[in-house]
């Protein structure tokens, strides 16, 4: 078997390196100096700045130095950890053609916003770099002056609302040292106020949901001030009462999910009905969930506790037997007519959406009537005006004879009282 014999190499021979294998030295300061020199020639004219940045991209490596480029356009020079500008000796090296050197008024902010829009429209690959840059810059915020924080907040509102960066970048503000010193909350409020003024409240609400920020608003508040009252006062003080409503709605949804999961766990662990009732009442009171909403959650959980027969003739008996076990729980949370009607509507909705239950509605209502979960007054109200449109004619027809019986019994009772 022949083996490949290596050719001898003469001592001192130089091996030629291909150009594509040569790695250029990473030199952000050299890039900075080149950019600063070009910006200096623009005389801070925004149109000239945009034209320069457009042409410089063909000579300077934006792909490699994108982060450095955004450092310069935001802060004026290269940012070092902590938020200060990199120096040459004792002297910071920076330009005035940057966000931090613009006036605070919104017209100036909007004008400089165009520099970023034009730059990223020309070099699309910079968009992803800008998102990463913003995450870094926001963490460095403690090192910026109060005025520069305001400018950055206002520009951030413009950048997020025009799609330059996603709303989720704001979540980096939930950083211990920024939250503790109230910097995160102050910045967030400035962003929200600017956004509301520039783009309107609906746009802001949509962005909060899209960025997953709506459920984390309380995390921006310093731990020692983290109360609903403080949250409400600071947001309402700057005209953001609608954000308070959004926060309350989100907190309520989370509380409902927690209550529902707790009930599922309690039933799975076969806790006593008395203990389950106490747990549910305590959680509902603590979270401010009204009784008519609690009863809807209870119904949903109870109906997931069984594997329902697909045959109509069998599911009716199964449903009555299953629900009978939970009537004490239903009874504990139907103390008002509003709660009783809410339960009736849940039953109607469930029977409409589950085909095999279409003929079971009347039997469930009758069970709740006999066990005092739902009163005859509420059944009559449901029949006359309180029903849903879902399966309306079918369910009204099912209940017709029973309702007539109730009405006759009521008339006889009134007649007996008169006699």
Summarize the confidence of residues 257-272 as an average pLDDT: 92
145-154, 292-301, 405-414 — which is least confidently predicted? Answer: 405-414
Q: What pLDDT band is residue 311 in, cutting at 50, 70 and 90? A: confident
Sign of CA dihedral 86, 96, 188, 223: positive
**Cα(102)–Cα(191) distance, integer angstroms:** 17
Give the residue from 164, 180, 198 where a domain finishes: 164
Say if 379 falls within a structural domain. Answer: yes
Residue 199 has pLDDT above 60, yes or no: yes
pLDDT digit string (tens) for 161-175?
Answer: 999 999 999 999 999
Give the pLDDT score at 92: 64
pLDDT digit string (tens) for 30-79?
Answer: 999 999 999 999 988 999 999 999 999 888 999 999 999 999 999 999 99
Give the pLDDT score at 22: 47
Which among 153, 152, 126, 138 is positioned nearest to 67, based on CA atoms? 126
Residue predicted with more confidence, 347 or 207: 347
Give the pLDDT score at 1: 47
Which among 8, 131, 118 is positioned nearest to 67, based on CA atoms? 131
- Residue 89 φ/ψ region, left for φ over 0, alpha for ψ in the -120 to 50 degree band, beta for the rest: left
Summarize the confidence of residues 329-333 as an average pLDDT: 95
Say if 155 falls within a structural domain. Answer: yes
Assigned token pair, 274: 């008395």
Say if 125 falls within a structural domain. Answer: yes
Sign of CA dihedral 58, 62, 64, 65: positive
Q: Cβ–Cβ contacts within 10 Å for residue 389, how many?
A: 8
Q: What pLDDT band is residue 196 in, cutting at 50, 70 and 90? A: very high
Percentage above 90 pLDDT, the chain? 71
Residue 204 has pLDDT above 60, yes or no: yes
Q: What pLDDT band is residue 412 in, cutting at 50, 70 and 90? A: low
Say if 297 falls within a structural domain. Answer: no
Q: What pLDDT band is residue 91 in, cutting at 50, 70 and 90? A: low
Say if 403 falls within a structural domain. Answer: yes
**Cα(418)–Cα(416) distance, integer angstroms:** 5
Residue 291 has pLDDT above 50, yes or no: yes
Domain count, the chain: 2
**What pTM did the predictor assign?**
0.69
Say if 190 falls within a structural domain. Answer: no
Say if 157 falls within a structural domain. Answer: yes
Give the pLDDT score at 6: 56
The answer for residues whose C-beta is within 8 angstroms of residue 202's C-beta and 6 or more apart is none
Summarize the confidence of residues 263-270 as an average pLDDT: 92
Q: What is the CATH number of the domain that holds 384?
A: 1.25.40.180
pLDDT digit string (tens) for 348-376?
Answer: 999 999 989 999 999 999 999 999 999 99
User: Are 91 and 80 in contact, with CB atoms under 8 Å apart?
Assistant: no
Chain mean pLDDT for the chain: 89
Provide φ and ψ at 392, rounded to 5°. Answer: -50, -60
Give the pLDDT score at 414: 58
CA angle 303, 307, 313 (to 5 degrees): 95
Give the residue from 114, 130, 164 where a domain finishes: 164
CA angle 254, 257, 261 (to 5 degrees): 140
Sign of CA dihedral 142, 143, 149, 155: negative
Residue predicted with more confidence, 317 or 313: 317
Which among 213, 122, 224, 145 is positioned nearest to 174, based on CA atoms? 213
Say if 145 falls within a structural domain. Answer: yes
Give the pLDDT score at 21: 43
Give the pLDDT score at 419: 46
Give the residue from 109, 138, 164 where a domain finishes: 164
User: Are 293 and 342 in contact, with CB atoms under 8 Å apart?
Assistant: yes
Q: What pLDDT band is residue 197 in, cutting at 50, 70 and 90? A: very high
Name the residue range of residue 148's domain: 26-164
């Amino acid at each position: 078997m022949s083996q490949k014999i290596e050719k001898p190499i003469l001592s001192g021979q130089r091996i030629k390196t291909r150009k594509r294998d040569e790695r250029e030295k990473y030199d952000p300061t050299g890039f900075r100096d080149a950019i600063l020199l070009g910006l200096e020639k623009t005389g801070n004219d925004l149109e000239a700045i945009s034209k320069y940045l457009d042409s410089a991209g063909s000579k300077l490596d934006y792909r490699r130095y994108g982060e450095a480029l955004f450092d310069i356009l935001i802060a004026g020079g290269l940012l070092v950890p902590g938020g200060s500008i990199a120096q040459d000796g004792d002297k910071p090296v920076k330009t005035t053609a940057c966000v931090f050197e613009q006036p605070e008024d919104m017209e100036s902010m909007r004008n400089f916003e165009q520099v970023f829009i034009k730059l990223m429209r020309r070099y699309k690959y910079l968009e992803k770099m800008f998102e990463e840059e913003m995450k870094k810059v926001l963490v460095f915020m403690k090192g910026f002056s109060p005025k520069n924080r305001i400018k950055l907040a206002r520009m951030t509102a413009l950048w997020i609302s025009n799609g330059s960066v996603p709303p989720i970048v704001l979540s980096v503000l939930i950083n211990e040292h920024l939250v503790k010193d109230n910097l995160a909350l102050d910045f967030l409020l400035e962003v929200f106020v600017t956004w509301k003024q520039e783009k309107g409240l609906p746009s802001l609400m949509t962005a909060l949901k899209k960025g997953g920020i709506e459920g984390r608003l309380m995390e921006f508040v310093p731990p020692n001030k983290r109360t609903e009252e403080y949250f409400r006062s600071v947001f309402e003080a700057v005209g953001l009462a609608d954000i308070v409503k959004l926060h309350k709605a989100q907190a309520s949804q989370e509380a409902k999910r927690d209550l529902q999961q707790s009930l599922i766990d309690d039933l799975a662990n076969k806790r006593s009905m008395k203990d389950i009732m106490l747990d549910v009442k305590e959680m509902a009171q603590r979270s401010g969930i009204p009784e008519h909403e609690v009863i809807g959650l209870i119904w949903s959980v109870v109906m997931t506790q069984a594997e329902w027969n697909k045959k109509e003739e069998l599911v009716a008996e199964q449903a009555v037997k299953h629900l009978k076990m939970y009537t004490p729980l239903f009874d504990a949370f139907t103390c008002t007519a509003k709660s009783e009607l809410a339960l009736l509507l849940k039953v109607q909705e469930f029977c409409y959406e589950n085909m095999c239950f279409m003929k079971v509605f009347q039997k469930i209502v009758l069970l709740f009537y006999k066990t005092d979960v739902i009163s005859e007054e509420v059944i009559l109200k449901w029949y006359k005006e309180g029903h849903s449109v879902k399966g309306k004619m079918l369910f009204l027809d099912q209940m017709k004879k029973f309702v007539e019986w109730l009405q006759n019994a009521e008339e006889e009772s009134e007649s007996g009282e008169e006699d």
